[in-house]
Amino acid sequence: MRELRGKTAVVTGGGSGIGRSLVLAFAREGMNVVIADIELANAEAVAAEAAALGVRTLAVRCDVADRESVAAMAARASDAFGGVQLLCNNAGIVPFAPIQDTTPANWDWAMAVNVDGPFNGVNAFLPALRAAGEAHIVNTASIAGLYALPGLAAYVASKFAVVGLSEALRVDLAPFNIGVSVLCPGGVRTNIMASTEHRQAAFGGPVSVPVEYRTAAAGADQMEPDDVAALVVRAVKENQFYVPTHPDTREPAAARTARVAAGYDWLG
């Protein structure tokens, strides 16, 4: 989708972090933007920033784990702009725990937001994307969707699912001229640590991040979200599927691929 100006983008989790940077990057390209976030005040603040760039905006409170909430957001987007050409399923959370400490509530929370969320977005917007004639979907996964990181069992499982969903979408939607990209970022300077503070009541309500994870994140070399957004804009224009962000993650990703191939060697 080479030309973005005048088209409409929807970004879930658009009120902060990578989502905010995506919104502003698309606005600079001349796109109208729908900013969906579970925190309406955050969405409204980003909408004001985007509007200052000269585009039309819509801020909507949306819980991506709630199918009715996503459907209502899609209806508002359609009413406001008449069509959507770019969907960014970006909202995501991180339950910080190895498998032995992963509770059913945190497992369900990870799957509801990180896996059901992208499906809910695709389900709600696919008619509009097909009607657009040319469209694109960006799903935010993680480098943890390409190889396992320790201590993040539910998160890793959910992000592997996002990569798999994205691969299926790329195959299924190609006949409809709908491109697909899967964003697989490494460490990015966002407030994803705060996601646990917004855990919905259905999954046990807010919970604090264990101190060891906060300490590890504070010492990590993190990328700026604006730099990630720039990669996404390029990927949309070039219909690039895999969108990693950190060159130093190439080796462990390749090592996992080699281990998969070795399984076939084992067959003899």
HEC profile of 92-159: CCCCCECHHHCCHHHHHHHHHHHHHHHHHHHHHHHHHHHHCCCEEEEEECCHHHCCCCCCEHHHHHHH
DSSP bridge pairs for 223:
188
Which residue in 155, 213, 242, 264 is the catalytic one? Answer: 155
Q: Which residues of 197-232 are buried (b: 16+ CB within 10 A; e: fewer)?
A: eebbeebeeebebeeebeeebeeeeebebeebbebb
213 is catalytic: no
Catalytic residue numbers, as ranges: 155
